[in-house]
Amino acid sequence: MSRLPLRLRLTLVFAAAMAAVLAAAGLFLYLRVGGALLSSVDQSLRAGTAETARHLQAEQGRGELDVPLVDPDAARGETIAQLVGAGGRVLRSSTTGLGALVGPATLARVRRGETLLETTGLPGRRGDWRVLVVPVERGGETLALVTASSLASRDETLHRLLVELGVSGPVALLLASLGGYALAAAALRHVESMRRRAAAISPGAPGLRLPVPRSRDEIARLAETLNDMLGRLEAAFEHERRFVADASHELRTPLALLRTELELALRRPRTRDELEAALRSAAEETERLTRLAEDLLLIARSDQGALPIRRERLDVDELLRTVAGRFAGRAAARGRELRVADAARGLSVEADPDRVEQALGNLIENALAHGAGRVELAAYPRGSLVELHVTDEGAGFPPGFAERAFDRFSRADEARGREGTGLGLAIVDLIARAHGGSAGAGGRPGGGADVWLALERSELDARSAPDSAPVPAGT
């Protein structure tokens, strides 16, 4: 059954239900017609018996004995009658040579004044008969007036009705099944059209969508939902394609440089200083490859699920000074000042120290690499969150770049060459969201970039510290 086409399965179910309905309707009609015919026979029996009883009473008063027990026309219609006395003796009969139609038990009940009506067979007669027995007083004696009507006409009518139902029922079932199949095919026509279009959709043919029926029914809503899903999948596929292409490009550049350095070092004999310079350059490219591989691994783990976070209470001022101390030498080598603002004192967050230090390190590296002037680390409470800001005094972000600053492999200057991989801010955003926070970027009014991440404020700090503090303009 499950291997049959859906439209055929629907038709079979519809046909089974229709067969049950037709059978029930036919049975109801058969029983109703049979009951109506039997009621008509009973009514005729009662009317004829009552008239015969009146004639018998009138006959007794006049002393006549020639009143017929049944009407001659009714007698030709297979109706017979008897007047039966005590002991089962037939006093009068509408048909000669006919034995008693009732037995002693029935006579005894009639003599007690009961009226009996039943369907039974009669001796020497075919088929079923409807028999009515009523008591009649005659000469001080209670007699039984028995009137019987053949049910042959009723049975013949019911037989014809059964034959007609047996012929018309299957025809009606066949027509209804064909109609059900046509309706199922019409309803599933849009589904088949959607299936053919879905089979044609491939990565090589982007932009194709399923046809949406004009009717606002379940099929139309399904098509709209699937089209929305296709749009999301197409965007995700394009995002992954760009990610793989950008990752391949970022890996190819340091590998090519590393290979070039090694080939140049091996091409001819080199002095110790030349070999040392070549090895240092190769070590720098290897370090860059290592950082890139670690960043890609972190992003891949984030795509597969939430980053594992080990939360603990961190003093924000201590956190900022620890990270600043790690980059102090690099800032001094570039002739840049790196400081921590005093506003961070008294604040604490619930966060993973390793991940947060990694995020702040990425922000400081971006400020040192692409900014100018002093780099400052600051923290400001904002409701249930604490914002950790890293600012510089450079040119800031180009117009429109802040909205996509946290995209993977996104750079403000695509022609920057080897400076950065475009993953630093993307990782900052991943770490912030893994903590239930967010990341943001903007510009300072006096010039320079301001990038921050917001982390959950510790409960103890939230009870003791103010809800908010001044935040630098432009954030």
* Side-chain-side CA neighbours of residue 71 (13 Å): 11
Cα gap 420→288, rounded to integer Å: 9
- Residues 417 and 366 reside in one and the same domain: yes
At a CB cut-off of 8 Å and minimum separation 6, what does 262 contact?
278, 282
What pLDDT, on a 0 to 100 scale, did the predictor assign at position 463?
52
Last residue within a domain, chosen from 277, 304, 331: 304
- Residues 455 and 369 reside in one and the same domain: yes
Q: What range does the domain containing 402 cover?
A: 312-464
Q: How many domains does the chain have?
A: 3
- Residues 279 and 249 reside in one and the same domain: yes
Q: 205 in a domain, yes or no?
A: no
- Residues 359 and 247 reside in one and the same domain: no
- Residues 61 and 104 reside in one and the same domain: yes
- Residues 27 and 116 reside in one and the same domain: yes
For the full predicted model, state whether its pTM sits above 0.75.
Answer: no
Q: Which residues of 27-50 are buried (b: 16+ CB within 10 A; e: fewer)?
A: eeeeeeebeebeeebeebbeebbe
- Residues 432 and 322 reside in one and the same domain: yes
- Burial of residue 253 (CB within 10 Å: 0-12, 13-18, 19+) is middle
- Residues 317 and 460 reside in one and the same domain: yes
- Residues 250 and 125 reside in one and the same domain: no
Q: 191 in a domain, yes or no?
A: no
What pLDDT, on a 0 to 100 scale, did the predictor assign at position 167?
93
CATH number of the domain where residue 104 is located? 3.30.450.20
What pLDDT, on a 0 to 100 scale, did the predictor assign at position 419?
53
What pLDDT, on a 0 to 100 scale, did the predictor assign at position 246?
64
Mean pLDDT, consecutive 10-residue stretches, the chain (475 aa), reads 78 92 94 93 89 77 60 64 83 79 85 88 84 84 88 92 92 92 84 82 76 81 87 79 68 73 76 79 76 70 70 90 89 90 79 88 87 90 89 82 71 52 80 87 83 84 52 47
CATH number of the domain where residue 223 is located? 1.10.287.130
Last residue within a domain, chosen from 268, 284, 304: 304
- Residues 89 and 60 reside in one and the same domain: yes
Q: 399 in a domain, yes or no?
A: yes
Last residue within a domain, chosen from 265, 282, 304: 304
